[in-house]
Amino acid sequence: MPLNPPLHSWRGRRVWIVGASSGIGAALAHALIERGARVAVSARRIEPLAALGAEQVVAVDVCCAQALRSAADAVCAAFGGLDLAVYCAGTYAPMRATAFELDVALAHDEVNYRGALRWLAAVLPPLLAQRDGHLSLVSSVAGWRGLPQALAYGPTKAALINLAETLHLDLREHGIGVSVVNPGFVDTPLTAANRFPMPALLTPAQAAQAIVRGWERGRFDIHFPRRFTLGLRLLRALPDRVYFSATRRITGG
């Protein structure tokens, strides 16, 4: 049985994507516009958003709670409500403990996690008033367990996964679906910072198709590509001693 009401019949469905200027967010906007959804897109940089062909374009900085509230109000007023809200904003820089930079780690927390909390404060009131809708947070398999190079990034994604799990428990009885998206490697401006081979690398368009399929099937944890993520899920279940040894051996970390 699906953990969420499946999202079918995209035509006319009202969607707001935060973090749509590039990568997965932009690809999601394209995919849903093609399916006939009414799409609003937001990011700090408005120029890339204008090229997406969305019905609503709202510039927003996820580090500003008031800006997110104002953007949510504008989108809901234009659409008459909201069916799907997606938090796809994020930042990423590889980091290890031997080269720890506090400012960089805090910047990850500010955008990846605290930004999601500000977004949540903006979208929860209208969805609770509707007693309908769906919240989706884009996290990462890097949040499942600790990985080399993910000292700044991984903990924020782990926080998003926990947040989504708690939201699902709290909101199901209010008619609101919740999903968390855990991609493997996707070829985006953020992953361009990686200096190691990325297995099972997907394009943003492929990632968007996998996410839409997950929503349509009512999934809570939308992870892909499964030829890669299922192996990571097995690693996730290993005892600590075995996990640390296997991860060092696999990654050379």
Structure tokens at 91: 């930042």
Residue 253: pLDDT above 70? no
Residue 252: pLDDT above 90? no
Which amino acid type is present at position 145? R
Distance of CA 127 to CAs 72, 141, 164, 210, Å?
Answer: 11, 28, 15, 25
Marked catalytic residue, from 92, 113, 153, 243: 153
Q: Place 19 in a pLDDT band, splitting at 50, 70 and 90.
A: very high
Residue 2: pLDDT above 70? yes
Q: Place 251 in a pLDDT band, splitting at 50, 70 and 90.
A: confident
Q: According to the model, what pLDDT value does residue 119 have? A: 98
Q: Could you read off the pLDDT of 171-209 as tens digits, one per residue?
A: 999 999 999 999 998 888 878 777 777 778 899 999 999
> Do the Cβ atoms of 208 and 27 come closer than 8 Å?
yes
User: pTM of the entire structure?
Assistant: 0.94
Is residue 153 part of the annotated active site? The answer reads yes
| CATH class (in words) of the domain with range 14-251 | alpha beta
Beta bridge partners of 180: 137, 221
Residue 151: pLDDT above 90? yes
For the chain, the structural domain boundaries read 14-251
User: What dihedral do alpha carbons 8, 11, 14, 17 form, nearest 10°?
Assistant: 80
Round to whole Å and give the CA distance between 108 and 110.
Answer: 5
Q: Place 248 in a pLDDT band, splitting at 50, 70 and 90.
A: confident
